Amino acid sequence: DAALEKGIKIISFWDENYPMLLKKIYNPPVLLYCKGQSLEYREDSVAIVGTRRFTSYGKYSTQKITNELLSSNIVVVSGLARGIDTIAHKEAVKFGGRTIAVFGSGLDVIYPKENHTLSQEICEKGTLISEFPLGTKPDRGNFPMRNRIISGLSHATVVVEAGDKSGAILTAL
């Protein structure tokens, strides 16, 4: 009931619109909390992930890659984190493309807080998703779990500026 009041749909692994690619990962989430546009069973998508502390070249590269993907009707998937993730989502919204933001918290706990407006804008053509129940805080252990969903939804993962042991690198592996 709380999810419905917030405009959040819950889909299960057995629903017809549960993403096909996500079904193929190790330990796929049984439930997904979704807000915005419905997920598709089949969707051409590429993840863009990277550092929170980006350079001007990293920003330019992210914008360019995002626009190239959008112009080919490819969905951009990322994690709504500060930095490269935020740039990719903002670029998709700016140009009216579809983007999927995967949360490391419940969908009612926007993290980082400065992306609250962006998360609302994503819902117009894209989707916010999480495997975490409402009220779940963005705990450090949630992000590796989130990252498997980001890569699991995507045919490929583009890493823009990331350290050797960063979450972005782990997402790509």
Give the Å distances, CA to CA, from 149 to 5, 47, 78, 119, 144: 25, 10, 10, 18, 9
Q: How many helices (H) and strands (E) does the chain have?
A: 7, 7
Going by pLDDT thresholds of 50, 70 and 90, the confidence category of residue 163 is low
Q: For residue 169, what pLDDT is reported?
A: 59
Q: What is the pLDDT of residue 162?
A: 72
Q: Which of 154, 96, 150, 93 is nearest to 122 (CA)?
A: 93
Contact between 152 and 21 under an 8 Å Cβ cutoff? The reply is: yes
Residue 84 has pLDDT above 60, yes or no: yes
Q: Which of 25, 80, 72 is nearest to 46 (CA)?
A: 72
The predicted pLDDT at position 1 comes to 85
Q: What is the mean pLDDT of residues 49-54?
A: 92
Under the banding of pLDDT at 50, 70 and 90, the label for residue 161 is confident
Mean pLDDT value across residues 47-67? 95
Task: State the Cα–Cα distance between residues 123 and 121, nearest whole angstrom.
Answer: 5
pLDDT at 166 over 70: no
pLDDT of residue 165: 62
Consecutive H or E run containing 151 = helix 142-152
At 30 the pLDDT is 97
The 10 Å CB-count burial string (b at 16+, else e) for 30-43 is: eebbbbbeebeeeb
Instruction: Answer yes or no: is pLDDT of 167 > 80.
Output: no
